[in-house]
């Protein structure tokens, strides 16, 4: 039985009105609705902002638009800005190019605990499949029509990734080391964590700029701080809308790969801070709560 949470869904966007409409429509059709949605906007143009304002006005849910100045891709800063505007004590991050199937929020909440973070995954749609993902399909309850069959290679790969995650999480429970922690990858296509846990590690590290590794870094720091990772990838389904993928920057990879020596609290995060905190007083990672 999951704890009772006040839940904020934080959706990232940048000048992608069509994909954002689909993402939000799918959230409005969840079997369990969040208490609010925060649109974390990484500096979209006035045209996109007007679309967001129209969506906010029409939605039956509480939606907050958190815009930050466009200074290039700043995914960590954008998500932290969304957190600052959120009121929930449980946070579900969703990429704006993701379309959640109706059970997704419910699965995250059913699996949530104060001592865990939960990562999802998604099935990439082809360009043709994405063209068939419309608001009408979503709001009429026909989104399952776009989910590939169980024998589709994409679904087999998703299940295999979930099995690997669980095996690695078991090994991490047995053997606490940074090497083991690095094997559990957080994926922010949909990712959830308590606000308290996120605040303990000071949120996303804003030293990551451009594309790549900021979500893996967050998962690593949460584990060092004593919060264990779980996957809901094979039970909380999500479709990843087709688009060209940005390449990860090598500078981000180098920064992510550095040894942590027990440090889990980033210096540039939800709040500015000085010397990083160490894990000497961490909760016991063997706690099964």
Over the stretch 137-152, which tens digit does the pLDDT of each residue have?
999 999 999 999 899 9
pLDDT at 247: 59
Instruction: Name the average pLDDT for the chain.
Output: 90
Helix (H, G, I), strand (E, B) or coil at 262: coil
> Would you state the structure tokens that stand for residue 102, as one six-digit string?
């109706």
Q: Are strands 190-194 and 90-95 parallel, antiparallel or unpaired?
A: antiparallel
Q: What is the pLDDT confidence band of residue 175, given thresholds at 50, 70 and 90? A: confident
The C-alpha atoms of residue 45 and residue 214 are separated, in whole angstroms, by: 24
The class level of CATH for 7-281 reads alpha beta
**More confidently predicted of 265 and 243:** 265
pLDDT digits (tens, 9 = 90+) for 1-30: 345 899 999 999 999 999 999 999 999 999
The DSSP H or E segment spanning 90 is strand 90-95
pLDDT at 174: 86
Give residue 210's region: left, alpha or beta (phi > 0; psi -120 to 50). Answer: left
Alpha carbon 244 to its chain's center: 20
pLDDT at 96: 96
Domain locations along the chain: 7-281
pLDDT at 282: 33
> Would you state the structure tokens that stand for residue 58, as one six-digit string?
């029409």
% of the chain residues with pLDDT over 70: 91
What length does the chain have? 289
């Amino acid at each position: 039985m999951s704890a009772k949470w006040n839940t904020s869904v934080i959706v990232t966007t940048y000048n992608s009105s069509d994909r954002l409409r689909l993402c939000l429509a799918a959230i409005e059709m969840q079997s369990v609705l969040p208490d609010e949605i925060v649109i974390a906007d990484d500096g979209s143009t006035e045209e996109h902002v007007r679309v967001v304002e129209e969506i906010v006005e029409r939605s039956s849910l509480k939606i907050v638009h958190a815009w930050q100045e466009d200074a290039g891709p700043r995914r960590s800063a954008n998500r932290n800005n969304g957190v600052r505007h959120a009121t929930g004590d449980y946070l579900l991050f969703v990429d704006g190019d993701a379309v959640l199937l109706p059970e997704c929020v419910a699965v995250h909440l059913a699996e949530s605990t104060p001592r865990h973070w939960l990562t999802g995954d998604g099935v990439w749609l082809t360009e043709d499949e994405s063209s068939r993902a419309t608001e009408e399909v979503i709001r009429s309850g026909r989104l399952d029509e776009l989910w590939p069959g169980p024998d589709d290679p994409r679904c087999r790969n998703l299940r295999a990734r979930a099995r690997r995650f669980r095996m690695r999480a078991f090994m991490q429970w047995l053997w606490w080391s940074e090497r083991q922690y690095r094997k559990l990858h957080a994926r922010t296509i949909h990712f959830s964590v308590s606000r308290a846990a996120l605040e303990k590690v000071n949120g996303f590290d804003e030293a990551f700029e451009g594309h790549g590794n900021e979500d893996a870094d967050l998962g690593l720091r949460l584990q060092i701080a004593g919060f264990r990772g779980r996957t809901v990838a094979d039970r909380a389904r999500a479709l990843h809308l087709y688009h060209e993928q940005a390449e990860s920057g090598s500078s981000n990879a180098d920064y992510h790969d550095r040894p942590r020596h027990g440090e889990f609290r980033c210096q540039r995060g939800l709040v500015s801070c000085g010397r990083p905190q160490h894990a000497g007083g961490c909760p016991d990672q063997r706690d099964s709560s």
